[in-house]
Amino acid sequence: MNPVESVPPLRTSHPHAPRHAGPERNGRARSNALVVLSLVAVGWAVSAAHALFVPLAFAVMLFFLLRPAVRALAQLRVPRPLASAVVLAGTLGVLTLATVELATPAVAWSQRLPDAVREIEVKSRGWRYPVEHLTHALQAVTRLTEVAHTETVPRVDVVKPGLFEGLLARAASLATQLGLTIVAAFFLLIDGDALLGRLFRLGPRSPADRRASLVMNEVGARMSAYLGAVTLVNLGLGSILATALFFLGMPNPLLWGGLAAVLTYVPYVGPAVGIALVTLASFVAFPTAGRAVIPPLVYFALSMLEGNFVTPMVLGRTFAVRPLVVFVWLALWAWLWSVPGAILAVPLLMLFKFVCDETPKLGALSYLIRR
C-alpha cells in the first residue's frame, strides 16, 4: 500500500502579507467610525446646549483679551482677584456706557428703516434700473416689519401681549447668559493661567508635563495677542469711519462707527451688513442720491483697506488662514449658534489653529488651514 503523500496547505493570501492585517484594518475602521460619531455627538451637544456654551465661549474670549492687563497688575503686586475685578469691571463699564449712549439713536433708526426704501426709490429715479434688484430685495425685507404699522385696534390687542411676553422672555434669557459670561470670565481671569498649565496633567506625571505647560502658555499668549490686535484694528476702523461720517454730515456717526467696529469681527458678512445699513440710513438722511452714496462708499473703501492691508500687516503671516476655511468655519458656527456663533467663529478658529501649531501630532491640520 503506497503511503499517502502529504499535500501542502493551500495559501489563501499573499505569502508576505501580515497575518493580522484583517483585524488591524477592522480596528482602524472602528476607530475612525468612533471618531466620526464622537464629532457628531459633540456637534449635537454644542447646538442643543447653546444657552450654556455660548456664554462660556464669550467668557473664554474675554479671558484671553483681558489676560495681559490682569497679569500686568499682578506683577505690580496687586492681588489676582482684585486685578481681575478691576479690569473686568472697567471693560464692562465702558461697554455699558457705549451701549446706553447708542441705544436711543439705534432704536430711532430702526423705526425709520421702512421709510428708507421709499427714499431710495424717489432719489434714485435717474438710475433706477441699476438698483432695481436691490430695491426689490429691500422691499421684501420691509414687509417683515409691516405688522408694526397696522392701525386696526383688534389686531393690536391680540399681538401686543404675545409680543410683550416674547420680549420679556428674550430679555430674561439674555440677562442670564450675560451674567453667566461675566461670572465665568471673572473666575477664568483669577485661575485661568493655572488651569491652562494643568490642562494636560490629567494623567500620571511625566517628563512631558513641562512641555504641555509651555504649549498652553504659548497658545494663551498668541490668542491674547491676536484678540488684542484685532480689537484695536476694529476700534480704529470704527473711529475713522465715525470721523469721516461726521464731516460728511451723517447723523449719529458714533452709532455707525460702533456698529462697524462690532461687525468687523464677522468677516465677509459683517462689513456687507454694515454697508447695507449705512446705505439705508444715508438715503434717509441726505436729500439727493449723489450725497447719499458717499457714506457707504467711504465705508466700503475703509473696509477694503482694513481687510486687505491693515489687518494682514498687523497680524502677519503667522495668523493667516485660508479664506475657504474661514468661510466654511463661519457658516458652521453661524448654523450652530446663529449670530453669536458668527461673532465667535474666527476667534475659535484661531484658537484651534494655535493649538495645532504647538502640537506636533496636529501639525498636519495646521498646515492644511494656514495660508
| Residue 81 · residue 190 · CB < 8 Å | yes
CA atoms in the 13 A half-sphere facing the CB of 230: 23
Q: Which residue has the higher pLDDT, 323 or 204?
A: 323
Per-residue confidence band for 149, with pLDDT thresholds at 50, 70 and 90: very low
Which value, to the nearest 10 degrees, does the dihedral of the CA atoms of residues 179, 185, 187, 193 take? 170
Place of cell 495645532: 356
Question: Which string of DSSP letters, residue by residue, matches 172-191?
Answer: HHHHHHHHHHHHHHHHHHHH
pLDDT above 70: residue 14: no
Q: Domain extents for the chain?
A: 50-369
Predicted confidence (pLDDT) per residue in 313-358, tens digit: 888 766 778 888 888 888 888 888 888 888 888 898 888 888 888 7
- Give the number of C-alpha atoms closer than 13 A to the C-alpha of residue 191, restricted to the C-beta side: 6
Report in angstroms the alpha-carbon separations of 341 from 58, 76, 157, 286, 346.
Answer: 10, 37, 36, 35, 9
Model-level pTM?
Answer: 0.72
Mean pLDDT value across residues 254-260: 93
